Structure 1
């Protein structure tokens, strides 16, 4: 990994990622996977289940260093990377607020986060422990923890999976509200086309394993204009360009 300037994009160029299955069989997860996410852009990495989307995020997070290729992350004054996973991963012995502040440097542990808790509807549950939270509230806490760090890049791995559609939709809007207020380069993994069309500036479409980029779908409309009719039109355009993905 080579740090880049503050205005630089996220650049990914993974030549190959292979792992061994439980049976000892070599499985190629990624091959010639190359793409960019522009600075301040919200992009979605869309592809079928098991194609290597999460593996890509693990590489970007430095959790998997056994691959061929390279990547460059955008930087900022903080230089922080924030991640939101499929599970909230909150520490059960700490309150919601303590969990949110845990990722902050000691010098910033007491900064004012009232705006963030208010925006995510967490003001009344700040002192509760994870066991006292619904899954939806726990997911909100995970979002709060990520945005509290003011990251240079935000990586999200299907953060709304397993939620009912009503709750997931509400959290998508909350995510957009927070991200729009303080935009940062974001890359989100999903296999939900409508979710990608609602959230992103650009969709990076991946093939089945071993994953490589099939193409891009740019969503140039302002998010506030993406009403149900517009979303249907976008979905139709997407299916015409990528008929095998829908």
Structure 2
């Protein structure tokens, strides 16, 4: 990873990522995977199940260093990186507020979190413990923890998966509201095209394994203008641009 200037985007250039099975069989997950996410842009990484989306995120988070290639992360004054995973990963013996504050660096320990908790509907739950929360509320706490540190780069790995659609939709709008209030460069992994059309400025479509970029779908319509009819039009345009993507293959667009 090479440091970049404050206005620089996320740049990814992974030449190859290969796994070796316990039987010694080699499997290439990523091959010539290159893309860019502009500063303060919300991008979604979309592709078929098992194509390497989460593997890509693990590399960018520094959790997997066994690959060839390089990447550059955007920076702000702090260059902090935040992530929201499929599981909230909260400490059960800490309250909601304590779980969020644990992520804060020393110079932010006294930060007033009230506006953030208010925006995520967590104001009345600051003193509750994870065991007292539904999965949807626990996911909100994980989102609060990520935004609290004011990151230069935010990664999200299918943060709405396994939620019922009503709860997932509510959380999508909450995430969008928080991100819109404090924009940061964001890359979210999802298999759900409709979700990506709702949230993102750009969809990066990956191929089947070994994953490489199959194409881009840029959305310049403001999010507040993405009515059901507009969403339907966007989905139609997406299917026209990528006719090989069957309806339902990546989630219903």
TM-score if structure 2 supplies the norm length? 0.96
State whether structure 2 residue 71 is matched by structure 1 residue 71: yes
Deviates more, 1:59-68 or 1:107-116: 107-116
Deviates more, 1:19-28 or 1:95-104: 19-28
Identify the residue that residue 36 of structure 1 maps to in structure 2: 36
State whether structure 2 residue 222 is matched by structure 1 residue 225: no
What stretches of structure 2 of length at least 5 have no aligned partner? 248-253
Q: Distance in 1 between matches of 2:228 and 2:50?
A: 29
Task: Give per-residue Cα distances to partners, 1:154-184, cap 9 Å, x unaligned.
Answer: 0000000000000000000001100000000
Aligned length: 246
- Other structure's SS at 1:221 match: coil
State whether structure 2 residue 158 is matched by structure 1 residue 155: no
Q: Distance in 1 between matches of 2:163 and 2:114?
A: 26
Deviates more, 1:7-16 or 1:22-31: 22-31
Q: Distance in 1 between matches of 2:24 and 2:131?
A: 38
Q: Distance in 1 between matches of 2:158 and 2:227?
A: 22
RMSD: 0.7
How much does 1:23 deviate? 3.1
- Other structure's SS at 1:82 match: strand
State whether structure 2 residue 130 is matched by structure 1 residue 139: no
Q: Distance in 2 between matches of 1:84 and 1:99?
A: 14
Task: Give per-residue Cα distances to partners, 1:124-158, cap 9 Å, x unaligned.
Answer: 11111111100000000000000000000000000
Q: Distance in 2 between matches of 1:110 and 1:166?
A: 35
- Other structure's SS at 2:214 match: strand
Spell out structure 1 runs of 4+ moving beyond 6 A.
Answer: none
Identify the residue that residue 173 of structure 1 maps to in structure 2: 173
Output aligned runs, 1:1-246, within 5 Å. 1-245=1-245, 246=247
TM-score if structure 1 supplies the norm length? 0.99
How much does 1:243 deviate? 1.8
- Other structure's SS at 1:203 match: strand
Q: Distance in 1 between matches of 2:47 and 2:7?
A: 28
Q: Distance in 1 between matches of 2:21 and 2:171?
A: 35
